[in-house]
Structure 1
């Protein structure tokens, strides 16, 4: 029997218009209120871009942000777990990424820092609507001066066409960091050992829930670790074949009520909820 459900946001919880469908909110309410489910979100987003969605679906467990680098109770503001990239490692990471020609996005106190405004950094900034962005002309010097640590770094590659991240660079990065590809050309980078999977395990252990009782749902590279951890790791129909290969079940797309499909197949198979019932 399942007792905990953890969902990604982009491409999973949100539809093609970037909204949480009303049906999805109603289904989650049924699970939470009538089935006693623990429900939360695991996202690569920063807190400032995830909290409103978490409140909208009324999560009843701490929120996982920055791919697991921050676990926070959004109702009490208590930061339960923080695992940022420390200053020394952050400098090493920035140096390596710049050496390979990537634009580096660093997170600081729910703002983002870039070294310049250009096509690549603007591409990323445009996805972070409403988030403060500051230019620091020398990122390494900035990190040194502020002794800055960062929950996550985003490395922006070519935005005009798909250029896969070189295998040699991935190998070097993975010695000290967790790396999730983003649209093949870009990378989300966290401290080694930090992932959605490790964060979901942390919460499940805190609630004394076994991994076999956990359902996780996602569509991206940064979801793979939690799909592999959960007793039931589910990939969205809009996920790539690589992501689907790590899932135990593939549901419908984020525009086809994939959550309802999951509930009917694995949670209430004898009852079969329909959209008309919600």
Structure 2
């Protein structure tokens, strides 16, 4: 029987309004009543992930920034895996040269050098998930959502590279044209030592240290509790979830997951906007997966 559940957030635990659906909350509580520990494993930073969990009344361990950091239930840092500043400089120069918009996740929050572009990218993501929205409506929703997040702004990213008191955890690249621009860029990025490239939706790529992957982090956390991966359940929807879906014996892809992700997971559940996580949890307990 499973003893630990690790769930992605965006496109998985969260609904269309970036909230945890009540069905998911109820299932998480039901699992905890059965002695099963729940945690999130997200590409978001800690301060980006926490508001939605707080609103849902969920207090749990968190793997953040794709596995670059982990925190216990009290928010105490368990570990951090950062990108070496030399390689971070190489990535910064490469992304600037290719004229793409990107953000940098650090151990002191997420940074952007263009607030207008940040809102525009969030709106494009929402518009893609909610086709009935006009882009103007998506802009308004994105602005309201981003106001809740702890985002920092700098004039130049070089400031972050030069600071000795800050660790670089992830580069997140956004591109409206998607694979047309991102695929050749990805090939260049993958030549930089000690990094891994994943994606959380079609119009982005995410760059972490090679050891900062969700699967590695989930396994590390499970081992700290003496839980084997045969008793771990993971749930996700996109390619930054693949490492944890591959490593857990019980893995669920969301109904809205990318096709390649569905091929990797052992099971499939409903979409994120109809409580797919809750349905997967209840099935796993009922069927003793």
1:92 is aligned to 90
Match for 1:78 among 66, 76, 79? 76
Uncovered stretches (5+) of structure 2, i.e. residues with no partner: 123-141
Considering only aligned residues, what root-mean-square deviation do their CA atoms show, in Å?
2.4
1:213 is aligned to 231
Which runs of structure 1 show a deviation greater than 6 angstroms over 4 or more consecutive aligned residues? none
**Distance apart, 1:122 and its partner CA:** 4.4
1:25 and 2:43 equivalent? no
TM-score (norm 2): 0.82
Q: Distance in 1 between matches of 2:106 and 2:278?
A: 37
Give CA-to-partner distance per residue, 1:179-234, whole Å, 9 cap, x none: 11243232111111211111100011111111111110011111111111110111
Residue range with higher mean Cα deviation, 41-50 or 177-186: 177-186
2:173 is paired with a residue of what secondary structure? strand
**Distance apart, 1:145 and its partner CA:** 4.7
**Distance apart, 1:248 and its partner CA:** 0.6
Contact 1:48/1:110, CA 8 A, preserved across alignment = no
Uncovered stretches (5+) of structure 1, i.e. residues with no partner: 271-278
Q: Which has the higher contact order (CA 8 A, sep 6+)?
A: 2
**Distance apart, 1:84 and its partner CA:** 1.5
**Distance apart, 1:59 and its partner CA:** 4.1
Alignment of 1:67-216 (within 5 A): 67-75=66-74, 77-117=75-115, 119=117, 122-124=120-122, 126=143, 128-130=146-148, 131-137=150-156, 139-140=157-158, 142-146=160-164, 148-157=166-175, 159=176, 161-174=177-190, 175-216=193-234
1:10 is paired with a residue of what secondary structure? helix
Contact 2:214/2:243, CA 8 A, preserved across alignment = yes
Q: Distance in 2 between matches of 1:192 and 1:241?
A: 24
Q: Distance in 1 between matches of 2:118 and 2:52?
A: 27
Q: Distance in 1 between matches of 2:165 and 2:92?
A: 14
How many pairs align? 264
**Distance apart, 1:67 and its partner CA:** 0.7
TM-score (norm 1): 0.85
Q: 1:91 to 1:252 in 2, by over 3 A?
A: same
Q: 1:129 to 1:188 in 2, by over 3 A?
A: farther
1:245 is paired with a residue of what secondary structure? helix
Q: 1:18 to 1:96 in 2, by over 3 A?
A: same
